[in-house]
Amino acid sequence: MRMRLRFEIAFALAVKAAALTVLYLLFFAPAHRPEISAAAAAQHLYAAPLQGGSQ
Amino acid sequence: MIDPGTVELSRLQFGLTAMYHFLFVPLTLGLSVLLAIMESVYVMTGRPIWRDMTRFWGVLFGINFAMGVATGITMEFQFGTNWAYYSQYVGDIFGAPLAIEGLMAFFLEATFVGLFFFGWDKMSRVGHLTATWLLALGTNLSALWILIANGWMQHPVGAAFNIHTMRMEVTSFYDVLFNPVAQAKFVHTVSAGYVTGAIFVLAISAWFLLKGRYAEFAKRSMTVAASFGLAAALSVVVLGDESGYTASQNQKMKIAAIEADWQTEAPPASFTVFGFPDVKDRTTHFAIRVPWLLGLIATRSLDEEVPGIVNLVAANAERIKHGIVAYRALETLRAHPDDSGAQADFANNKLDLGYALLLKKYTDKVVDATPAQIEQAAWDTVPGVAALFWAFRFMVAFGLYFIALFAFAFYLSARRRLDRYRWFLTAALWTLPLPWLSSELGWFVAEYGRQPWTIDGVLPTYLSVSSVSAGTVWTSLLGFVVFYSVLAVVELYLMVKYVRIGPAVGPSAAPRRAAPVAE
């Protein structure tokens, strides 16, 4: 029983690691990440209005 | 330009991933301590049934740990991508506890998980018990560092805005560490995890008794769960009261929204047990109130006011006006750093700078904001009253029910009648999902109640998100939903499968089959 459990957990962990890697590469890898410098943050916080003006 | 769709989707994505992640966490917190208690009894008494209990509940702990591990990392993904401005603005403070959690607590936890599972035949009894306690310690330390980070978002102490780097920076790590909000949230959250672990053991043991399987094993497990669970459930209420008190001192609007407390009452304020908050008319219909109770809970005094929403909005409008002065001074200082008038204005009003940022939703010229825009921004500081009102009441109701359930289980355990009442066993079994539900409600109250801020009073949520496209966030959100749903299904499948298989009961234990509880 324990060998079976170990196999199932190891399999689930491997699939989970693969899924997380795919999600990371598709959406969150550095290529998808906006580069925000201090100057860009200052510009954002002290210049950019919300699209549409109000809600 | 900030796309409101991206803001709402980024919030939804973060909220969903956090809530999915927290399906796994409370059971890990609670079961790790229960395992350590069971194994301690085994080491002290030498009775094999306690080792069997530790190993069986340890298998279920292992399944939950394996499915839950790294599910929180998706939130770290999002900080860099969806919340880049947040990360830039407060990463100096917020990043430190997260890094310490990963380096210290999680490695401790992960190391001793390995020793717990693979060390049974390779270590002495005391050595293995030490590993189990260190596993529980690592698990709880993980929670501590995460809640220090979260506590700082609720009550940002030990940090200041640096006009040169244009970001928040640590001024006192001691204050960040011993933030009263973080400490109160930590003990409240881990006790809720202990309740989850105890109900998990109680419910599955009740199922064994209902099926007439592993009676001795199940009754001993229930005895541990009842006593530990009763202490934990009482702690949740006491520590929740402390958490509420710290919130009432530092997040008055959150408390006013939870209580649907529209107007400031003469002290001591009454507590609304039931009612229907009406946001449009700013009143609560059919309210049933208990005199004095809110005043006593929120201020621990008879003569201190609990400010109502309308009064707090007026106060926040003033803070926005002070924030505008700080904002104007900051603009001047960036062009003329030696301007003494601007320096004085900034120093006198800098604590309200974040409130001026609320106006960015309505105008790009914050310093020229109209009174109408200021009022609009001030009303934005009110989180969703009805949702908070009801979420809090359901959470509290569940907490009180857990105390009653554990108290009765404790009484039955002391009288050795745990298997006597079928209705009690059925109730214990059906209680199984409730601690998860109440934990999620608790997080909802904490996080939704912090809106419209990511960092309370410092950084509005809509200014924290990155300029990523709504389509990208939609797609990654869909990916997360599929990922977490599959994980939850696999967890349920494995849990049910190994619960059905049951403990590997040794010769010391009672027969595998006993008569099912008939009454």
Give the separation between CA B502 and CA B516, rounded to whole angstroms.
16
B373 and B411 inside one domain? no
Contact A9 B360 (CB under 8 A): no
Domain presence at residue B345? yes
B219 and B344 inside one domain? no
Cα B237 to Cα B141, B259, B273, distances in angstroms? 21, 17, 16
Residue-by-residue pLDDT tens, chain B, 519 positions = 567 788 999 999 999 999 999 999 999 999 999 999 999 999 999 999 999 999 999 999 999 998 888 788 888 888 888 898 899 889 889 889 988 888 877 788 889 999 999 998 899 999 999 999 999 999 999 899 999 999 999 999 999 988 888 889 999 999 999 999 999 999 999 999 999 999 999 999 999 999 999 999 999 999 999 999 999 999 999 998 898 899 988 999 999 999 999 999 888 999 999 999 998 889 999 999 999 999 998 888 899 999 999 999 999 999 999 999 999 999 888 888 899 999 999 999 999 999 999 999 999 889 999 999 999 999 999 999 999 999 999 999 999 999 999 999 999 999 999 988 999 999 999 999 999 999 999 999 999 999 999 999 999 999 999 888 888 889 988 998 998 898 889 889 999 999 999 886 444 444 445 555 544
Of B354, B379, B404, the position where a domain reaches its end is B379
Of B322, B345, B379, the position where a domain reaches its end is B379
B201 and B105 inside one domain? yes
Domain presence at residue B262? no
B117 and B194 inside one domain? yes
Residue type, B292: W
pLDDT in tens, B406-426: 999 999 999 999 988 999 999
B401 and B355 inside one domain? no
Q: Of B401, B374, B384, which Cα lies nearest the Cα of B315?
A: B374
Give the separation between CA B7 and CA B228, rounded to whole angstroms.
42
Give the separation between CA B444 and CA B36, rounded to whole angstroms.
30
Domain presence at residue B213? yes
Domain presence at residue B294? no
B476 touches chain A (CB under 8 A): yes
Q: How many residues does chain B have?
A: 519
Domain presence at residue B331? yes
B83 and B142 inside one domain? yes
Burial B431-446 (b: 16+ CB within 10 A, else e): bbebbbebbbbbbbbb
Contact B361 A27 (CB under 8 A): no
- Considering only CB atoms, A53 lies closest to which of B327, B362, B468, namely B362
Q: What is the pLDDT of residue A32?
A: 83
B372 and B392 inside one domain? no
Give the separation between CA B208 and CA B487, rounded to whole angstroms.
26
B433 touches chain A (CB under 8 A): no
Contact A36 B490 (CB under 8 A): no
B64 and B206 inside one domain? yes
- One-character DSSP codes across B95-162: HHHHHHIIIIIIHHHHHHHHHHHH-TTTS-HHHHHHHHHHHHHHHHHHHHHHHHHHHHHHS--SEEEE
Domain presence at residue B340? yes
Domain presence at residue B290? no
pLDDT in tens, A2-55: 788 888 889 888 988 999 999 899 888 888 888 888 788 888 887 644 444 433
> What is the count of residue pairs from A and B with beta carbons less than 8 Å apart?
122
Locus of tokens 């009690």: B424
Contact B81 A45 (CB under 8 A): no
Domain presence at residue B105? yes
Q: Pull the structure tokens for residue B463.
A: 């200014």
B470 touches chain A (CB under 8 A): no
Contact A23 B462 (CB under 8 A): no
Residue A30 C-alpha, separation from nearest chain B C-alpha, in angstroms:
8
Number of domains within chain B:
2
B140 and B160 inside one domain? yes
Contact A41 B363 (CB under 8 A): no
Contact B361 A55 (CB under 8 A): yes
- Which residue segment(s) compose the domain that B172 sits in? 4-254+383-501
- Considering only CB atoms, B84 lies closest to which of A17, A36, A46, namely A36
B119 and B229 inside one domain? yes
B465 and B317 inside one domain? no
Q: Pull the structure tokens for residue B191.
A: 């006790």
Give the separation between CA B354 and CA B456, rounded to whole angstroms.
9
ipTM for the predicted complex? 0.79
- One-character DSSP codes across B2-65: B-HHHHHHHHHHHHHHHHHHHHHHHHHHHHHHHHHHHHHHHHHH--HHHHHHHHHHHHHHHHHH
Residue A22 C-alpha, separation from nearest chain B C-alpha, in angstroms:
10
Of B379, B406, B438, the position where a domain reaches its end is B379
B340 and B395 inside one domain? no
